[in-house]
Structure 1
Amino acid sequence: MGTKRPSGRRYPEDEREMRAARSTSERRRLALEEKRRAKKKKRRRRIGILVAEVIILSVLCVFAYATVKMDKLDFNFLDEDKLEVYKDTGPYTNIALFGLDAREGESIESGVRSDSMMIASINNETNEVKVVSIFRDTLLKQQDGTFDKANAAYSYGGPQEAIALLNRNLDLDIKNYMSVDFKALSDVIDALGGMELELTAEEVVHMNNYCVETSEVTGKDYERIEPEVAGTYHLNGVQATSYARIRATAGGDYKRAERQRLVIEKIVEKAQKANLKTLDKIIDVVFPQVSTSFSSKDLIGIAANALSYQLGETQGFPYSIADTDVVDGYEGSYVVPSDFDGDVKKLHEFLFNEKDYQVSDTVKEISHEIDVMSGAIVEDGYTDEYGTDEGYSEEPYGGYESDGYETDVYESENYEGSY
């Protein structure tokens, strides 16, 4: 029989066994940890490959999905040789945007005047987007050499002639466009949940009035704002579209163009924050109402950077307005530039940072013709009906009153209207 060891006492052989046991346990633990690390590393590689595959598949699916959705657009490819492209503006993509006063049964590709005309210029190096409104009543040179309101070109020859008008008169290189009508704008705004706008009491009154027709054209509902007082309101599609159509307040078409740019800014802000479900709804509802010359590939390229675009400053053209809105030999009221070639220089400085831009001979000629028609200058041998050779620099009716927006109304007991 062995000798019983006193409790709690350790002997040398016990220490050796315990050290051996600890060493074996440690080796096993280390081996297990190494095995687990290897499994984790292998699993991470698998996850990394899976994520890469998902990303690639997602990109391919988005491309395929976008291609299918793009088929909803009304593609209208233009003859570039007839666009009168002046010169390449470098790292800028310039797009003509047309808002049309198209009614039921009317095509948005021709036969109607453009209610609004804008140039969106994308700086492809900085992703900044600048927007210029072309006042629709601006006196510009048409394709046949005559002068008419800017928005007449669309009704004469659709977007192709309207783009040519912008390139011809403004030394631009626009090659593509997008056109929408009232309903498309209202649908986009509704899909984004409406927008908050601050209105004057006068704007509320006119917006309520415009809503009647806008509702009829779009087939969409709205609620009148009552009482008609100034304030910040949440507007739906019909209301915001009607707000963008107001031209009866002080500033007329100039102020309307400003309202239109504000509405676009609001749309861009909300669209960049919208979820995929909302954007998908916009695509389904709005794309069938859009006419464009872009190819699917071009649009996907633009859309790829959509979230990084930053809407910069917006302006209205022309910058200088003559003291008359009546043009010799023409009927109706026009926006007449008083320094057309100077305004084109300012436009290029604003859009492309060209501080010393020299306008083309075409623009110089157009500027001269506008000055002659408006009476700003008198060609040799010309005498006006008052027996002077100063054109309309005199004030035959004893002065004028200004409405604050450089459009002058001459007063006479023998004449009515603007002269």
Structure 2
Amino acid sequence: MGRNEKGRGIIKKILLCILVIIFISGISFIYYINKQLNNVTITPLPKTDTELGIKPKLSENRAIENETIQGEVKQEDNILNIALFGIDSRNSKVDIPHSDCIIVATVDNKHNKIKLSSVMRDTYVEVKDHGKTKITEAYFYGGPKLAVRTLNENFNLDIKDYVTVDFAGLAKIVDSLGGITINIKEYEIKEINKWIAELAELQHVKYTPIYRPGDQKLNGIQAVAYCRIRKVGDGDFERTSRQRVVLSEILNKLKNVDITKYPYLAAEILPYVETSISKSNIITLGGKIMMSGISNLDQQRFPVDGYCKGEIINRIWYLVPEPDIDTLSEQIHRYIYDDIKPVSKEPLF
């Protein structure tokens, strides 16, 4: 599925770092973080459900679950969804970035967990005013506003905010944590060194290759390069596994970081963040997450195996939901709101 695409999945490695570093820092060091949050690009989204593609019936059902104060819905408990987009802006001066990775991050107080619902970037969906195309194209055509609307309209969701992170933020996080330990396989060395060389050249830093297999500490550039390996082993499927390994190592390091270091980490990565969430709401949301005691992380990729097929349409390869988009929408919706995981079946292709 999209084995020849570069830079996919980077946001998986930094999602929880964004949530933890920004939110926890906001609570523990309010005044300091208020200053650091000035480094974040804040771009509000439209306020109306219609402009965001949220269906009226869903909005009404969510209103019943949440507290209503003076005629306004206050979204606080139960389910909170935020769209997360990972982009590679290396060529942004000459090319508008696509969303190389698309994730719906769900703070699920109802089931006491945080969920990461990844949507494959080649998924064939309807994009308003652009017909059917890859879901990654929505960000290209209309930035986060159209990307959020596309998620809501195709999958019956109620997303009202987003966070976009440049892939360079991953390297900053890893370096800020002092590196991470990864087991490098013999067959991965050539590929990882190829990516290290490219990334080092782009950042005008010294090229530091990997010489041997086995456990070793990777710096930020090396960690990003490790995540990009795709032409050895089991292709994109193994690359996804590498990305999960990097995420786990980052989270393990974060658990042992002194809380006084969080503002420093925030200062390192916030320049790579764009969001629709205001500074005050970042701090407020951080407090709610901390007070909720949620520590469980659950992940799911969509479409799931057996419910999609690769198809060439007008000479372009797409990942087409099977048997239809409605089935995919129902699976995503039930996972996010009812905590029902879809069961994969034998691939159809």
TM-score class, shorter-chain normalisation, is 0.7 to 0.9
Structure 1 residues 220 and 282: CA distance shift in structure 2, 3 A: farther
- In the alignment, is residue 318 of structure 1 matched against residue 303 of structure 2? yes
Match of 2:159 among 174, 177, 187: 174
For residue 331 of structure 1, what is the aligned residue in structure 2?
315
Report the counterpart of residue 93 of structure 1 in structure 2.
80
1:69 to 36, 44, 56: 36
Which shifted more, 302-311 or 187-196?
Answer: 302-311
Superposed, 1:208-247 pairs within 5 Å as: 208-221=193-206, 223-227=208-212, 229=213, 231-247=214-230
Q: What letter corresponds to residue 73 of structure 1 in structure 2? A: V
How far apart are residue 172 of structure 1 and its match? 0.9
Q: After superposition, where does 1:17-32 map in structure 2 within 5 Å?
A: none
Q: How does 1:284-295 map to 2 (within 5 A)?
A: 284-295=267-278
Q: What is the letter of the counterpart of residue 332 of structure 2? A: L
Partner Cα separation in structure 2 for residue 161 and residue 151 of structure 1: 11
Larger displacement relative to structure 2 (245-254 or 278-287):
245-254
Distance 1:323 1:279, change over 3 A: closer
Is 1:349 the counterpart of 2:316? The answer is no
Tell me if the contact between 1:320 and 1:337 (Cα under 8 Å) persists in the aligned partners: no
Q: Give aligned-pair identity as a percent.
A: 29
Deviation at 1:139? 1.4
Which gives a bigger RCO, structure 1 or 2 (Cα 8 Å, sep 6+)? Answer: 2
Determine the structure 1 residue equivalent to 2:192: 207
**Cα offset, 1:354, TM superposition:** 5.5
Aligned residues: 298
- TM-superposed CA distance for 1:351, in Å, is 2.4
The structure richer in strand per residue is 2
Shift of the 322–219 alpha-carbon distance from structure 1 to 2, 3 Å rule, reads farther
Amino acid at match of 2:318: Y
Matches within 5 A, 1:77-88: 77-81=44-48, 82-86=51-55, 87-88=58-59
What does 1:271-282 align with in structure 2 at a 5 Å threshold? 271-282=254-265
AA at the equivalent of 2:225: S
Which string of whole-angstrom CA distances, capped at 9 and with x for unpartnered residues, describes residues 296-323 of structure 1?
1221123223594424221211014578
Give, as a single letter, the amino acid of the residue that structure 1 aligns with 2:264. K
CA distance in 2, matches of 1:293, 1:105: 20
Contact 1:321 1:337 in 2 (8 A): no
Q: Where in structure 2 are there 5+ consecutive unaligned residues?
A: 1-25, 66-77
Deviation at residue 159 of structure 1 after TM alignment: 0.8
d(CA) in 1 for partners of 2:252, 2:27: 28
Amino acid of the structure 2 residue aligned with 1:332: I
Output the TM-score relative to the length of structure 2.
0.74
Deviations 1:282-306 (A, max 9, x none): 1112112211110112211232235
Aligned alpha-carbon RMSD (Å): 3.1
The alpha-carbon distance between structure 1 residues 121 and 60, as it changes in their structure 2 partners (threshold 3 A), is: closer
Q: How far, CA to CA, are the matches of 1:176 and 1:183 in structure 2?
A: 22
Q: Which runs of 5+ in 1 are unaligned?
A: 1-58, 358-404, 409-419
Given the superposition, is the C-alpha separation of residues 335 and 256 from structure 1 closer, same or farther in structure 2, using an over 3 Å criterion?
farther
Report the equivalent of 1:391: none
Take 2:196 and 2:132, find their aligned partners in 1: how far apart are those partners? 33
In our comparison, the structure showing a higher alpha carbon Rg is 1
| C-alpha separation in 2, matches of 1:281 and 1:327 | 47
- What one-letter code is carried by the residue in structure 2 that aligns with 1:72? N
Please, what TM-score do these two structures have when normalized by structure 1? 0.63
User: d(CA) in 1 for partners of 2:199 and 2:266?
Assistant: 22
1:60 Cα deviation (Å)?
9.5
| Matched residue type, 2:253 | K
Letter in 1 for 2:125: L
- Cα displacement (A) at 1:280: 2.0
Seen in structure 2, the aligned counterparts of structure 1 residues 346 and 232 have a Cα distance that, compared at 3 Å, is farther
Separation in structure 2 between the aligned mates of residue 75 and residue 183 of structure 1, nearest angstrom: 18
